[in-house]
Structure 1
Amino acid sequence: MTDDLEADLDLARRIADAADRVTLSRFRASDLQVDRKPDRTPVTDADVACEDEVRRLIAAERPDDAVLGEERGSSVEDPAARHWIVDPIDGTKNYSRGVPVFATLLALMSGREPVVGVVSAPALGRRWWAARGQGAFTSDVARGITAAPLSVSGVADLADAYVSTTDLDYWREIGTRDRWLALTEATWESRAFGDFHHHMLVAEGLMDAAVEPGASAWDLAAPAIVVREAGGRLTDFSGGERIDGGEALSTNGVLHDAVLGIIRP
């Protein structure tokens, strides 16, 4: 790992520590404020406070870097330049209901590609991270693991695959529920772990594919590099290696084309 990349990963992990403190301090708080954005998705005061803290730390440590965040918008003038992408709380619906499956997602972009990514889920005691060309790793407080390497599964037959999506109803809303149902019929088992979690399960080799019919760049930047550095693939539904296509498929790589053959538009 280059010195610069190592320093950026170290910074990203320290920022994630600070983000964890913010999100945990408001998790299950009796006075948690929950509002709805124009797209009807929930946002809490913790989402905003967490992103503000992330932006403050980036400004202090990397004052020349721009930021794209879910709650505060973008200061990115040139998408081809170095910048950070942050989702302060991925899984806000869970967070607002007191479900511990939520995470802060932070990625450093070099142009349009993530080169550093951290996914931190403090209520689960879990974290996943990666840097370009250096592999992906995870920590697990409950199991006493501080840094274990990640590797995707070796499942090569779609009929043996364990797959996940986020919300079946969203497939209905966009008129493509038949594609998801076709995939479930072609595979061994399906679940709806959703959000960051199923992509991290792919990176750990516990799921074989995660299908996200609606996603933004801040949902995907950090998971993308973790999955890829664990040996998998994350693309849009056309197979494009991008995080801004509005959708995502992550797999162990071996099954990728087979899944695309079913869900591709």
Structure 2
Amino acid sequence: MKPPAFAYHAPDTLGAALAALAEAGDGGKVLAGGQSLVPLLNMRLAAPAELVDINRITALDTLEVTAGGVRVGALARHSRVERSDAAAGVQPLLRRALENVAHPVIRNRGTVVGSLAHADPAAELPAVLALLDGTVEVRSATGRRTVPAGAFFTGPLESALLPGELAVSAFFPALPPRTGTAFRELSRRHGDYALAGVAVTVGLDEDLRVATARAGYLGVAATPVVLDLTGPALAAQEGRPAGECDWAEVGGYAAARLDPEPDIHASAEYRRTLAGVLTERALRAAAAEGGRSDS
């Protein structure tokens, strides 16, 4: 299969890329890793009039790690972020999610920000960014803006990016001390999109009881779903340490609040049940990690 004809731009500066996107308007599309875009082009599910290849803009190939979080530039590959011990030390969910993204050959080329801009509700990184209340920095020829994750994902394969805009980086905030994280998903085959998945954070107080619990879901709705599970977790632990919390009860609470759609791979009820089981397992693991981090 061959893609439809398009005009090709290969700028080597951000300014030139933004100028090309401004001129292209609605007909412009950005090429970074291309692991999602190229198949869509070849199957003619996407037909941009102009393609702006940003791979020569070395200023976008950045990975900045600070105590406050991890900022990933638009050309940072999945594999680079996955292998960064510094990034994993500040925000472990990045590595844990990226380990589940397709296969190594895909991660060697695909980009973190490109995955976010693609806004696939079955992808891992949008759920992580939404759970962490992260942000996406967007640039255009006329200015810049910072979009919170809660407003960035607007529908299946739809984001808040406007014609002429480029997502130049994403910020994944760090978490407070005594906070554990975990990521769980289930797919039919390793590397496939998950039937359902969840990223969680569990924060503990000084007595190692649950103080906060949150979960971000993929594969269960048109956009990432974030649930605050603090109330159910507090009720389920009944004043006991987090290790003795009835996490199955919390998983059931979460499942009851999800409304997935059925498809050829799984029924809605199966996805709901699966999400509840994955939530229970992830919360238990995150709570254990939070307890260990205090030692």
Q: Could you say whether these structures have the same fold, taking a TM-score greater than 0.5 normalized by the shorter chain as the test?
A: no
TM-score, structure 2 normalization: 0.27
Look at both structures and tell me which one has the larger radius of gyration over its CA atoms. 2
